[in-house]
Amino acid sequence: MKLAFTLSIKNIFGAKLRTFLNVFVLSFSFVVIIGLKGVMDGWDDQARRDSINWQFGQGQLIHEDYDPLDSFTILDGKGLIPENISGLTPILVHQASIYPQGRMLGATIKGIDLSQKSVLLPTKALINSKYNYPVIIGKRMAESSKLSIGDEVLIRWRDKNGTYDANRITVVDIFDSNVPAIDSGQIWMSIETLWQITGLNNQASFFIADKNYKHKPINFWKFNSQEELLKPISDLVAQKNGSQSVIYFLLLTIALLAIFDTQVLSVFRRQSEIGTYIALGMTRQKVIGIFTFEGSLYSVLALILATIYGFPLLAWFADVGFAVPPADQKMGIPIADTIFPIFGLKLVFGTIFLVLFASTVVSFLPTRKISKLDPILALKGKKQ
């Protein structure tokens, strides 16, 4: 083993530029794979955290006829608030149109219990307001409707019988959330005000659970746990991760191809050396071992090089984050202005293992030829 190590080091450092190129390309793959995967993990973490804090709480109790992703269900997807429930914040969803600056915009009014603590929505701003119909909106809604704090806007809705009603609402706060589902096209007001203006007294479309909620089955209502609600986000990130695998594959392929070529060249050019090893009594397997070890040493050196320049680079990246273009933030998925990558142990060691394993396999494949070499011809310097 010691002999193999000494020989490998000598051969690798003897190759100079070829070794440097191999090691650099492989180290680049290390850094890029860890960097990209770190961004995805960071996004997953941020999206889950924001969704829990702003939208899902500890889970949601949803009326069986209401589907948050289907606006057709808003009309019928509500029911009377069940009796004797605790740890739940009721939310009633109702459709409306607003008319900022003489334009018509479709909107969803969401009535919420103002004393809630399940999510970070700043509902306290609505308590004791001097306005008749105070509301809060998100930054996206404020941008699309061009509304600011203190602005009054006309809103039109239908009551429980379908009769049009209209009045002026006042924006008392604009919240900054990364979750478009509680922001885009949404207007938040007191649930009691919404009951009063629609006649849908004591009704709710869904509830957000807080930490005190303990679920017991309730007729007409179904409970979605936090994990169930977060699944679409995890699935989306996993899908994005999958599509990024193409980049990882290409980078690794380029790096491994370089190692493969180097190994093929070594076996071809160093046949006299191989013949000498065998003539001196080494088994073919041992010679294959020396060459394979030499090839896999590239990945170890790449790991060292990647640590030298990659560690400070990725640490800086984790600090400043990855700025998300504004267009991507309007896609309807929870995504922050800046994603801060997370480089977990699983990610780092997983990538190291993957690259070490792949480079070892790639190093081994060309050396199989050694087992078929005739040592006499090899010693004579005849190429086989």
Partner 1 sequence: MKLTLKIILGFFVSVNLFSQNKTFPTATSVIKKIDFNMLSKSQIINSEMIVYGKRKSRTIRSRGYSEGLNKNFTEYLYPEREKGTKMLRLQDRLWIYSPSTDRIIQLSGHLLRQSLMGSDLSYEDMMEERKLSEIYNATIVGEEKIEDRDVWKMELTALVDDINYFKRILWVDKQRYVPLKEDLFAKSGELLKRISFYNYKKTDGRWYPRKMNYRDMLKNGKGTDFIVNEIKFNVSIPDQYFLKSTLKE
Binding residues for partner 1, rule: CB under 8 A, are 71-72, 74-75, 95, 97, 99, 101-104, 106, 154, 156, 158-159, 161-167
Measured from the CB atom, is 97 or 307 closer to partner 1?
Answer: 97
95-127: buried (b, 16+ CB within 10 Å) or exposed (e) per residue? Answer: ebebebeeeebebbbbbbbbebebbbbebebbe
Instruction: Please tell me the distance from the alpha carbon of residue 341 to that of residue 313, in angstroms, as a whole number.
Output: 12
Inter-residue contact 343 to 39 (CB < 8 Å): no
Q: What's the closest the beta carbon of residue 132 comes to partner 1, in angstroms?
A: 11
Q: What's the closest the beta carbon of residue 162 comes to partner 1, in angstroms?
A: 6
Label each residue of 95-161 as H, E or C.
EEEEEHHHCCEEEEEEEECCCCCCCCCCHHHHCCCCCCCEEEEEHHHHHHHCCCCCCEEEEEEECCC
Q: What's the closest the beta carbon of residue 134 comes to partner 1, in angstroms?
A: 17
DSSP 133: S
Answer left, alpha or beta for residue 373, where phi above 0 means left and psi between -120 and 50 means alpha: beta
Measured from the CB atom, is 199 or 344 closer to partner 1?
Answer: 199
Q: What's the closest the beta carbon of residue 350 comes to partner 1, in angstroms?
A: 46
Q: What's the closest the beta carbon of residue 95 comes to partner 1, in angstroms?
A: 5
Burial class (CB in 10 A: 0-12, 13-18, 19+), 82: middle
Measured from the CB atom, is 139 or 158 closer to partner 1?
Answer: 158
Measured from the CB atom, is 3 or 104 closer to partner 1?
Answer: 104
Which tokens in the block code for residue 167? 């009045």
Q: What's the closest the beta carbon of residue 136 comes to partner 1, in angstroms?
A: 22
Q: What's the closest the beta carbon of residue 40 comes to partner 1, in angstroms?
A: 36
* Percent helix / strand / coil, the chain, rounded to 5: 55, 20, 25
Measured from the CB atom, is 165 or 337 closer to partner 1?
Answer: 165
Measured from the CB atom, is 101 or 115 closer to partner 1?
Answer: 101
Measured from the CB atom, is 6 or 71 closer to partner 1?
Answer: 71
Which tokens in the block code for residue 73? 């269900």
Inter-residue contact 269 to 76 (CB < 8 Å): no
Q: Quote the distance between the C-alpha of residue 157 and its chain's center.
A: 38
